[in-house]
Amino acid sequence: MPKQIIKGHGIVADDWNLLRAPESAEGVAASAETVAALDVPQGRVIVPLATWLAQRDALSARAAAGEIGVWLAPDEDPVALREDLPRLALVAIDFPKFTDGRGYSHAWNLRSRLGWKGELRAIGDVLRDQLFSMQRVGFDAYDTRPDRSIEDALKGLTVFSETYQASVDQRVPLFRRHGRPAPAQATTAEA
């Protein structure tokens, strides 16, 4: 069965491959040089930011053809992609642990400050309880943890019917969206 993700409000087949640098046997992450020099296979591939930056010239034609996306780690700045966003098919943000919330800020910045209109995908330790909040800051695709039910995770997008705060998905806070009756004027008899 092909890999599936949540996109929009449905479950779809995923034809993208996520490229990650292999860890050592001791669990040590690859060096920056190793990540920059990763071999990018043919097909639709989401590459680490360091790989994109090091191989931008070689990957640009594939990016223009819609075959290259870039993923950001929590400690990487989305502004590094400012000039490249028009040629990328998608941007993914990694959540290595569900407790690391920096990806929410990255998503908001990509949508609100950098004007990203393309697919914004959450990858990594993505759980049902996060989806509604992720949607609020601009995510529209979710690569949920494989050990959890994707059908159950989909329900996480609709757990609330109303939001109070303004965000990417709703620019006006609740108190501005719903009118309040004007205060009653005191009559002279009451005064």
Domains within the chain, CATH numbers bracketed: 4-177 (3.20.20)
| pLDDT score of 189 | 59
Other residues' Cβ atoms within 10 Å of the Cβ of residue 3? 13
Looking at residues 8-36, what average pLDDT do you find? 82
Of 124, 129, 126, give the one whose Cα is nearest residue 159: 129
8 Å CB contact between 3 and 14:
yes
Q: What pLDDT is attached to residue 179? A: 66
Look at residue 42 in the predicted model and tell me its pLDDT. 95
Q: Which two tokens stand for residue 184?
A: 């009653």
Tell me how far apart the alpha carbons of residues 18 and 166 are, in angstroms, rounded to a whole number. 32
Q: What is the pLDDT of residues 32-82, one digit of tens each?
A: 788 888 889 999 999 999 999 999 999 999 999 999 999 999 999 999 999
116: its two tokens: 């990203």
Q: How far apart are the C-alpha atoms of 138 and 124, rounded to whole Å?
A: 17
Q: What is the structure's pLDDT at 69? A: 97
Mean pLDDT, all residues of the chain = 85
Amino acid 75: pLDDT: 94
